[in-house]
Structure 1
Amino acid sequence: MRYLIVAMLFTMLFTQGACVSTGTSGKTTDASMEWRMKSLEESFLNYREEQRRQAEQLDRMQSDTDRRLSAVEDALADVEGRDDAVVVEGAPKRADVPDEGWVTDLKPEDEGWKEVKPEQGAKAAPQNAPAEAPKVAASSEPKPWAKVPQPKPAPAPAMTAQSLYKKGYAQYEADKTADARKTFDEFLAKYPKSSLAANALYWKGETYYSDKNYPQAIMTFKDVVSRYPKHHKAASAMLKIGMSYELVGDKDNAVFYFRALVDDYPSSEPASMARKRLQALGE
Structure 2
Amino acid sequence: MKYLKLVLLAALCLFAVGCTAMQQRQATTDASTEWRLKSLEESFLNFREEQRRQADTIDEKAADADKRIAELEQEVAALKAGGVVADSAADAPDDMKDGANKGWVTDLKPEPDEWVEGGKPAPESGAEPVAQSAEEKPWDKVPGPPPVIPEPTVVHRDKPAPKAVKPKPVPKKNVKSAPKAAYGSAMALYDAGKYAAARDGFDAFLKRFPKDDLVPNALYWKGETYYSQKDYAQSILAFKEVTGRFPKHDKAAAALLKIGMSYERVGDPDNSVFYLRALVEDFPDSAPAKLARKELRRLGG
> Where on the TM-score scale, by shorter chain, does this alignment land: which range?
0.3 to 0.5
Q: Could you say which structure has the greater relative contact order, defined with CA pairs below 8 angstroms and 6 or more residues apart?
A: 1
TM-score by length of 2: 0.41
Between Structure 1 and Structure 2, whose CA radius of gyration is higher? Answer: 2
TM-score by length of 1: 0.44
